[in-house]
Amino acid sequence: MFSGLVALYWLGLGISWHFYQKKSLPPVEVLPPVSLLIAAHDAASHLKRLFERLRQIDYPSPWEVIVAADRCTDDTELILKEAAAYLPLRWLSIPEVPRTWKPKKYALWQATCLASYEWCVLIDADVDTSTFWLERLMRSSSGKEAVLAPAWLIPQSALGSRLSAYEAALVQVEALGRAAMGYPYMATGRGWAIRKSWLRAGLYRWRKEISGDDDLTFQMLPSAYVGIATEPTYSQAPASFQTALLRKWRHLQTARAYPFLLRVSLALPPLLQLLSVLGPIWSPEALPALFLPPVAKAIALAFMRAPRATITLWLDPVLLLLQVFYPVGAWVRKNTWALFFALSAYLCYALHAI
């Protein structure tokens, strides 16, 4: 029974997004001018590639790029000077961060001070976009205060990278599927839009949180003020378990600030899936039902047009095992979480070798 409920949950998310994509947006005569905000820390190689992509952006209204160079020690400033010759680009250097702020939030806050326009589009330095991405994102902004969009991670060959991309894809399914149902709860910093007044309010309110410049700020908005775009961005998944560890630990720290009922609703599907594993112990004929949730997740990812490389169903049991311990990660220190993750990584590699 539990397997069936979990499968229905994931199928519902995928189907709701599938039908949302078929809706036609109301015509927008004039798109708003936008400021693209990028917080960069030693990201010269990523910025160079991103600027080449942004150079091809086709957007009918004024737009600009604002880069907050956060304590950079690489060639970021040189890349910025070169890019300023062909992009509407401005930047500021941040030599140090106040103790009362977390670095990325402070960088984005400073970027908003430099932004010329009310609409801000937040992207990471390692994002890959299409020529019409910005236009399609902002066509969903009419009458709204923020716009979310798909943001997929492309896995590399390492096992940790594949696991990270698969988990991130499922997070996207939940975020986009719930938004299509009328219950948005998060955006992804790899590509979303928000009015500057809301962004500044969120950055200041959550300035001491290590993460959450996107989801916690997003949760301040009434659901009716949220638009949804279907044009995705793409980024490379973490290359190793260690990198994935740091990202996951930051996200788990932010989860403590989520509303209680939201945390319960997000924890319930993996909990029910875990309980379904106990079924075959008493009823061996229930063993085939264990495949229902992973298959439903794959169908949901297909409905959402996720990159095929992210659909790695054989990693679902590993992810389920890790999710059991995620609530612990929200409260422990980084070193303790690192030890747990190292043991988990060893277990994953051992299972993979078998």
User: E strands, 134-277, where?
Assistant: 146-148, 151-154, 192-195, 226-228, 233-236
Asked whether residue 68 carries a pLDDT value surpassing 90, the answer given is yes
Segment 317-333 mean pLDDT:
72
Asked whether residue 26 carries a pLDDT value surpassing 80, the answer given is no
pLDDT at 349: 55
Asked whether residue 216 carries a pLDDT value surpassing 70, the answer given is yes
Tens digits of residue pLDDT in 252-288? 778 778 898 998 899 899 989 988 888 777 777 777 8
Segment 139-168 mean pLDDT:
91
pLDDT at 99: 93
The residues spanned by each domain of the chain are 2-14+256-323, 16-238
Band (pLDDT 50/70/90 cuts) for residue 250 is confident
Asked whether residue 326 carries a pLDDT value surpassing 90, the answer given is no
Q: Mean pLDDT for the chain? A: 88
pTM for this one? 0.89
The encoded tokens of residue 133 equal: 């991405």
Segment 317-345 mean pLDDT:
66
pLDDT at 289: 84
pLDDT at 277: 82
CA dihedral 90, 194, 142, 184 (to 10 degrees): 150
Segment 30-53 mean pLDDT:
94
How many CB atoms within 10 Å of residue 100?
Answer: 8
CATH of region 16-238: 3.90.550.10
CA dist 130 to 14, 125, 133, 233, Å? 23, 15, 5, 8
Segment 61-71 mean pLDDT:
96
The percent of residues above 90 in pLDDT, for the chain, comes to 64
